[in-house]
Structure 1
Amino acid sequence: MQLIDQLNDSIRSLSGFWPELALVFAIVLVVIADLVFTPRSPIQLAGFATTPDATLSASKNRSILYALSLTAVVVAGALTFGQVGREKGFLFSSVLLLDNQAVFYKLIVTLAAFFAILHGWAVARPRNELPLDWLPILLGMLLGLYLMTMSVNLLTIYLSIELVSISSYLLTALSTDRKASEGGLKYLLFGAISSAIMLYGMSLLYGLTGTLALSESGNQLAQNDAFVVYVAGFLTLSGLFFKLSLVPFHVWTPDAYEAAPTPVVAFFSVAPKAAALLVLMRILTAFPASFQTPVAVIALASITLGNFSALWQTDAKRLLAYSSIAHAGFLLVGVVAFSETGFEAATFYIATYVFINMAAFLLVDLLAKPQNGNLTIQNFSGLGSSQPLLSAALTVVMIALTGLPPTVGFTAKLLAFSALLEAYQTDTNPWLLALFVVGLLNAIVSLFYYLRIPFLLYFRPVSNTYLSDTKLNLPQLFLAAVVTAPVLILFFKPDWILRWIGSL
């Protein structure tokens, strides 16, 4: 009888699992389409040159696979959007929870995947920079992120994080060059260590509570020694700190960002952080012990280390990698408030950060095109006159990353630090004040490296006159405009997102 009940529960759960099932079907379809449309002939495998007709056919086949992958993301996003307002409910024997928060965060990661595939199609596809294998792997990673947003059981949290991590390792080392192999190996080693630590922490939590469900573990943990709960809790949170690129689990970030293709890095920089942020808030809410002070210290360390390390970078992707470490710390500013206002501020921050960071990587990649794909910052010198639209857009994005008006980056930081100040006035925890003061000072420090790129674009001579005259096509310029526009629009209309967040 129990097996029949479980089977009926699984069948009922499928009604809330359509986006994930659509992604599973899409992964299989894209893999089959890759085998059908891009056969590897013996001549190609041997490395001999192909004919112009074969090259044209391969280009069309690549476009078909990009179209299939993009359609899959759109369908999954539409099915997810159809779940807005759905009654909150558990799926598959309460290991997953489908609520408005999960739906909102699934839409965030779907948007990131949509822009990443468009980035790959508009920039990387014409250069043949990315093997087509990256598309089904990206869809697999998106599936893992969907599961992360709904996970309320320690086992499903671990399995979904591992699905995301394994996909990330593959995407980082997908290229054949040595740098990609080194970056992927470092990513794998640090990921394996953090995964082992997290799994050990989860085993301790299970030993203390006798349950894997977050909703049931809180009351059980309250009966245990606070120090033991702290130890088990932080060991468990290490996996999430790794996905968020927080200190001390940040070491992999610059090497992996530099090694991976730019569209992949753009997706790395926002999507896993969004899913990990929701899981982090759910775990911290379930824990009875206050983790406010330790999380504030981690946020403070991440902001400071990320900003000061970025000051010395000469490669654009490494600069943005350290920038993402700092922004992960800023994400925690709202979480540290440990209030509904703070959690809403953190949600708004990650929702707007998708547009800001995806735009940053896209614009940097497009501006690197006239320089033969070279992402050294000095090579952007003088491109303000030859690429006025892209340069203006990148300037707006750099201002947004700094957190200055009139960009939504200012609004996001204002809400996060306002929630933190409100929490300090209630709790008077000195670490909250330290995070508030040092965090704002770090925003000033970030001016020196964010605005260095606009300075080079407009106030330095062209580094290569011939290459600076290279023109970009209309789809690339249109995509740049679509990604950049929300950075300005949401500054004037933040209520478009805030109302939605307030209803979660």
Structure 2
Amino acid sequence: MSLSDQLNDILASLAGFGPATWLSISFCVLLLVELLLLRSDRTLTRKLLAGLSAIVIAVAGVWAALSSARGFLFMHLLFVDNQAVFMQVVVALSALFVLLYDVFTHSDNATSNSINRSGLPLEWYSLLIAMTLGLFLMTISVNMLSIYLSIELVSICSYLLTALVADRKASEGGIKYLLFGAISSAIMLYGMSLLYGMTGTLDLTAESFGTQLAGQDSSVVAVAMMLTLAGLLFKLAGVPFHIWTPDAYEAAPVPVAAFFSVAPKAAGVLVLMRIVTALPLESAFGSVSATVIQTPLAVLALAGILIGNLSALRQTDAKRLLAYSTIAHAGFLLVGVVALNNAGFDAVLFYAGTYVFISLAAFFLIDLLARSNGSDLTISQFAGLGPKQPLLSVALIVVMIALTGLPPTVGFTAKLLSFSALYDTYQQTGNNWLLALFGLGLLNALISLVYYLKIPFLLFFRPAVSPTEPQKQPSLPKAAIYLAVGLTVPVVGLFLKPDLLTRFIADW
């Protein structure tokens, strides 16, 4: 390709790169505004930065949704398709919701207990924009170089957001997050180097990538692929790179932990789908057995579901409980990928699109209930709050049922689509690991029911914990209540009308 052709390709690619360009420029502007207003009134500065951040994220999401640009960008470095656009909208929605929740619940006179759940410093707004940029880039990356760089951008922002609050627990959680992130990145780079050595290209969509892999030993390809997936499993909180999750979630403020539970999973699972589909499972040049990647992924999915659910049973802190819940849901997300068919991939998109509302609502509602009692997030402190906060408590019951995967919530529909696609694949392949994942995965709904309903049980069937000294109960911001409860509307609505989202995914 001549120099003029390369320049023309770059200019043509700018149209599809608009949302990422907008986020990059906005990140620099926010940093500049923060520096210029460093000595100004802190409350006004926070309101200005929050408003600008909300506008930036909303514009990026709308721009991505309305853009008609599709195809390869920058000489096959990036690729924009409907799946990428859908995940970008999911990321933008989650970022906007956590930003609004932080604005609604922030108080400059917060106590030391509540600072760990809100009261984020001003730097958090620009870091949220930078992390959103990294996630947008992850969704359109099809080159191993762009995949690695975008994951590292997301990871660096994640480390900083975890340790942003000035206390010992946050610093400890951030360091643990950093150490495990460095290990997973090193393993991922080693896997990518093996794939590059076998194929001679970094482009997952290149014809030579599939051609060369088809001529390699299947076990070698399996090892290289699983090593490469290490970084993605880290962002997904998937086994065996899940160790950081409970400590980081407990240390991070509630809006940050809520964002971690949704956005990196949505972007990470899409990249994982792209890598898996790059394998020449059926090709004119040869093929790699589907079980080479299918069986290891099924084992990891099953391990994530089991470890997440069984570990959550023993938790006494609500955020740690939700952290182990996200590990289990990372396993459920992998179920659709393991199916290795279009129905499974569509189920993954549906799961990610609905999990935004379920997970964010769970974090917000639990935080608001703890605030209403003036207590921390210890599970025992939720006893007796049901009659005092009936709206929040009923909404939390709906969300917990959705996390379990029972009707009448969209959590049931999401699991139904994923496991239906998995069972279809099992009937075609006869792979016993798929049957084990199908049976034990569904059985785990009973295990998860035990800990998901622990807090609702305490809310209504246990007396309130008597404080040693009478305390004035803080009033909750109504806007935050409306936001948290409002997120439960699509949780039930999409169960009654799932075609609103399934048709959107299929036609878009």
Q: TM-score, normalised by structure 1?
A: 0.94
| 2:15 paired with 1:15 | yes
- Offset of residue 329 of structure 1: 0.4
Alignment correspondent of 1:121 = 103
Match of 1:97, SS state, is strand
**Count of matched residue pairs:** 486
How far off is 1:477 after superposition?
Answer: 1.6
Which deviates the most, 197-206 or 475-484?
Answer: 475-484
Query: How far apart in 1 are the matches of 2:158 and 2:106?
Result: 18
Question: Which position in structure 1 is the counterpart of 2:302?
Answer: 300
Aligned residue identity for 1:265: A
Whole-angstrom distance in 1 between the partners of 2:472 and 2:496? 34
Structure 2 distance, partners of 1:225, 1:125, is: 59
Counterpart of 1:258 in structure 2 is 250
Per the TM alignment, residue 178 of structure 1 is displaced from its structure 2 partner at its CA by: 0.6
**Equivalent residue letter for 1:119:** Y
Deviation at 1:469, TM superposition (A): 4.3
1:74 correspondence with 2:58: yes
| Mapping of residues 57-136 of structure 1, within 5 Å | 57-83=41-67, 86=68, 88-125=70-107, 127=110, 129-136=119-126
State which of 476, 485, 496 in structure 2 corresponds to 1:481.
485
**2-structure distance, mates of 1:79, 1:168:** 25
Which residue number corresponds to residue 418 of structure 2?
416
Aligned to 1:271: 263
Q: Deviations over 1:481-503 (max 9, x none)?
A: 22221111111111111011112
Query: Partner of 1:495 in structure 2?
Result: 499
Alpha-carbon distance between aligned partners in 1 of 2:38 and 2:357, rounded to the nearest angstrom: 33
Equivalent residue number for residue 163 of structure 2: 173
Secondary structure class of the residue paired with 1:312? coil
Counterpart position of 1:235: 227
TM-superposition CA deviations, 1:189-247 (whole Å, max 9, x none): 00000000000110111111111110121121101111111111111011111111111
Partner of 2:284: none
1:344 aligned to 336, 343, 346, which one? Answer: 346
SS of residue matched to 2:487:
helix
Letter of the structure 2 residue corresponding to residue 377 of structure 1: I
1:226 aligns to 2:218 (yes or no): yes
* Residue 76 to residue 213, structure 1, CA distance change in 2 (3 Å): same
Work out the CA distance in 1 between the residues paired with 2:264 and 2:179: 18
Contact 1:123 1:476 in 2 (8 A): yes
Deviation at 1:61, TM superposition (A): 2.2
Instruction: State whether residues 149 and 278 of structure 1, in contact with CA within 8 Å, keep that contact through their aligned partners in structure 2.
Output: yes
In 1: Cα distance, 2:212 partner to 2:78 partner: 20
CA contact (8 A) 1:386 1:468 kept: no
Q: Give the C-alpha shift of residue 380 in structure 1.
A: 0.9
- Cα distance in 1 for partners of 2:414, 2:57 equals 27
Q: Is the 8 A contact 2:105 2:477 kept in 1?
A: no
- The alpha-carbon distance between structure 1 residues 184 and 118, as it changes in their structure 2 partners (threshold 3 A), is same
User: Is the 2:16–2:69 contact (alpha carbons within 8 Å) kept by the matching residues of 1?
Assistant: no
Q: Does 1:148 align with 2:150?
A: no
Question: Whose helix proportion is higher, 1 or 2?
Answer: 1
- Which amino acid in the other structure matches residue 349 of structure 2? T
Measured in 2, the distance between the counterparts of 1:332 and 1:213 equals 23
- Report 1:299-338 matches (<5 A): 299-338=301-340
Aligned-pair RMSD on alpha carbons?
1.4
Tell me how far 1:5 sits from its aligned partner: 2.3
Provide runs of 4+ in structure 1 moved above 3 Å.
124-128, 464-470
> What corresponds to 2:172 in structure 1?
182
Unpaired runs of 5+ in structure 2?
281-287
Q: Which amino acid aligns with 1:122?
A: F
The residue number in structure 1 matching 2:285 is none
Q: In structure 1, the residue corresponding to 2:79 is in which secondary structure?
A: strand
Query: Which residue of 2 is the match for residue 191 of structure 1?
Result: 181
Q: Residue 468 of structure 1: CA displacement?
A: 8.0
Maintained 8 Å contact 1:370/1:468: no
- After TM superposition, the structure 1 stretch with the greater mean CA deviation from structure 2, 164-173 or 1-10, is 1-10
Question: How far 1:373 moved relative to its partner?
Answer: 5.0
Deviation string for 1:41-78 (max 9, x for gaps)?
xxxxxxxxxxxxxxxx4222211111110010011111
How high is the sequence identity, in percent, across the aligned residues?
60
8 Å Cα contact 2:15/2:69 also seen in 1: no
Hey, what's the Cα distance between the residues in 2 that align with 1:125 and 1:82? 36
* 8 Å Cα contact 2:196/2:202 also seen in 1: yes
